Structure 1
Amino acid sequence: MDEEVCRMTELSKELQDSAASLISRSCNEEASLRQRALSLHTSISNLRSSISSSLKKGNLHPQHALKLEEELGRARYLLTQGDAAAFLPTKSHGRFLRMFIGPLNVRATRKDVQLKVKEEYNSFRDRTALLFLVFPLLLLGLRSWTWDGCLPALPVQLYQAWLLFLYTGLALRENILRVNGSDIRPWWIYHHYCAMAMALISMTWEIEKQPDCSQKQKGVQLFLYWAIMQGVAMLLQNRYQRQRLYTRIALGKAQRMDVVWGETSGVDGQLWLLCPILFILQGFEAYVGVLLLQTALVGVVSEWQVITCGILLIVMAAGNFVNTVQTLLTKSRFKAKMKKGKSKD
């Protein structure tokens, strides 16, 4: 028995030494690769600047310069989109990530880990889209059948607490995805910041203590109707965007870590369905915001929470509308450019 215990101790020490040696070698090799990647990235940038400068001075033929630019583009693509991209300097984590997790590095060096982060984000969106639809349906149903047309404060506050969790989770995941190389428009993250603030503020909004409960809760009811529409739109766009992203990856127009930015990234047939829904949603969101402001101005509900939530809803609706229109214009310009290129061929 004593010999067996001693043998286990020796084996544990050997394993510890081997693991420590492996970690030390890995750290040294990683540091060397980081230095090489940074040096190569700098050299490529300097060489591109030299080509542009030579072209302007007339020391380089335009056709030859274009060929050199294409070769450098391929080299830069391999460096920034391949496995070596993990050793380049990471994007700034931003204050939001630092506030929640501190100065930790969330950049994954292995592609399989990066893809797992993206798949988890997509799964989270799919799960929460269904809950986004179910919760307001349940609240409105109970309001009619059980609560005599007046929502109790606690269920609504629990729903707002869930919304706070949802938007915080989305914002955290999207910031981590950006650090790992995903292409996400900044507005969608800012939108989630606004939604987090609105959910937090609305939890402190007293909706029961008034003689006319239905009048005070009109904005809440409209918001729940909007949430139902938003849940349907989220389910549709999640499905369409995932299918479209797989198609773009297969065609070489997107990377595996990309998230289809915006809400209008489907194919043409899908856009004819999604765009009207999205514009109606944005208009209804702005309408709820205006209604809340009117409620405060006429003195029905004059709490600061009502005014702030109304302003946030209008800001989010305007931002969503502007970003959706910009996405559609970008797609139309890209399609026009493609058609022009085909006509020249």
Structure 2
Amino acid sequence: MDPSDEVTTQTCLDEWNDCEKEYMQLETDHELYKRKLEEMLTLQKKCLTGIASQRKRLKKIQGYCKLAKQQSLDNQQKAELKELDEKTKTHKTHFREMEESLPHKNGIYLSIILGQVNVSLLNKADKFAYKEDYEKFKVTVSYITLVLSAALFFINGSRWLDALHNFLLVWYYCTLTIRENILVVNGSRIKGWWVTHHFVSTVCAGIALIWPDGYSYQAFRTQHVVFSLYLSMLYVMQYFYQKGSLYRLRALGKGHEMDITVEGFMSWMWKGISFILPFLFAGYCFQLYNSYVLYHLALKSPHWQVFALSFLHGFLGMGNIATTLAVVKQKITEQVAGMYKSRLTNKYRFNSRTKNL
């Protein structure tokens, strides 16, 4: 006998009654959810308004302090103003911490691309998952460009494959700028130069894509392929090196959760300076050499793309070198200041012990 023949009307009614009870509970839970959501949105607005108001008041207080410091003050008043200055800095730090769990405005670029869609991630798990997806995206595309660049090195005269490679770079850098701006909205401390670097790299790849075939294109093609191959290998190497550095820093409680891997040198990579910097500067010098070669080709070429690429490669190379040197200088200054402070502390302790004896 078919099992369906055993189902009676009463069975159907019993199932419906159970389903109806669950449905009524679901309606209750959903109403509660809507009330809590409204309460949360009201609290969010209240917190954002409060932070904005507090920032205005702190700015006003700092203005008063600046005027007060111009007057003749005794030591106690100077100490009070100094303490007040420290308190305002502490409050500003706390405001930034509060804002990490509050929605942020998209900014001009994301507003143009995405409109008014809110891209704020309000809990740490979602932020970390998005950051990990960003890292996975970067290394995956780097592997693809590595393989494609290697293929282009051995395959000559295939313009459609060159176009595919350049189109991939345009899509990659364009997508990267959007993802990085979302990361910035959600608390990532990526330096402004690296975001700018990816904007300019998008333009650079786009110009290479529409560069007409001819003498100048063919003369630079092999060098461009080798440069792309080197960059892809460098990105993959940096990814694994920086990933390990970030993991170690987070385990020690010294790293920020939204720190990401970049194509350049960051202050938290200081311990691996002797390993990573030579490869980075080799890539930057290669980029400047590209600019030099393209400039001489531009003098003989009728295509504007050659001169534009020469300028952009030079701009990127100089920008990368300047940013990396600035980070190195900052880190050296911090180390020297730390050593000086440590010596003063030790000297003070030694003098105190001598007096006690």
TM-score between the two structures when normalised by the length of structure 1: 0.82
Preserved CA contact (<8 Å) 1:48 1:69: no
SS at match of 1:86: coil
- Which of 279, 282, 285 is matched with 1:280 structurally? 282
Partner of 1:303: 303
- Which of 107, 123, 126 is matched with 1:93 structurally? 107
Distance of 2:20 and 2:342 partners within structure 1: 71
Preserved CA contact (<8 Å) 1:44 1:72: no
The farther-off stretch of 169-178 and 63-72 is: 63-72
For the aligned residue pairs, the C-alpha RMSD in angstroms reads 3.0
Q: Which amino acid aligns with 1:336?
A: V
SS at match of 1:217: helix
Partner of 1:175: 181
Query: Alignment length, in residue pairs?
Result: 328
1:168-222 CA-partner distances (Å, limit 9, x unpaired): 1211111001111111111111111111122222222233xx5x6xx64221210
Distance of 1:336 and 1:38 partners within structure 2: 41
- Which of 5, 17, 23 is matched with 2:34 structurally? 23
Shift of residue 308, structure 1, vs aligned partner: 2.3
- Which of 39, 57, 66 is matched with 1:46 structurally? 57
Match runs of 1:138-177 below 5 Å: 138-141=151-154, 143=155, 150-177=156-183
Structure 1 pair 157–110 and aligned structure 2 pair: CA distance change class (3 A): same
Distance of 2:131 and 2:108 partners within structure 1: 19
The farther-off stretch of 40-49 and 335-344 is: 40-49
Distance of 2:344 and 2:52 partners within structure 1: 35
Shift of residue 39, structure 1, vs aligned partner: 1.5
Match runs of 1:129-144 below 5 Å: 129-141=142-154, 143=155
Structure 2 unaligned spans of 5+: 1-11, 346-357
Shift of residue 166, structure 1, vs aligned partner: 1.3
Distance of 1:227 and 1:51 partners within structure 2: 50
Distance of 1:159 and 1:77 partners within structure 2: 44
Partner of 1:341: 341
Preserved CA contact (<8 Å) 1:164 1:199: yes
Distance of 2:56 and 2:338 partners within structure 1: 28
Structure 1 pair 124–261 and aligned structure 2 pair: CA distance change class (3 A): closer
Partner of 1:118: 131
Shift of residue 157, structure 1, vs aligned partner: 0.7
The structure that has the greater radius of gyration is: 2
Preserved CA contact (<8 Å) 1:161 1:200: yes
1:239-285 CA-partner distances (Å, limit 9, x unpaired): 23223333444555442123366722354552123222222211211
TM-score between the two structures when normalised by the length of structure 2: 0.79
Preserved CA contact (<8 Å) 2:188 2:259: yes
The farther-off stretch of 167-176 and 251-260 is: 251-260
SS at match of 1:195: helix
Structure 1 pair 319–28 and aligned structure 2 pair: CA distance change class (3 A): same
Shift of residue 152, structure 1, vs aligned partner: 0.9
Partner of 1:146: none
Q: Which amino acid aligns with 2:100?
A: A
- Which of 184, 188, 197 is matched with 2:194 structurally? 188
Structure 1 unaligned spans of 5+: 144-149
Partner of 1:319: 319
Q: Does 1:35 align with 2:46?
A: yes
Partner of 2:352: none
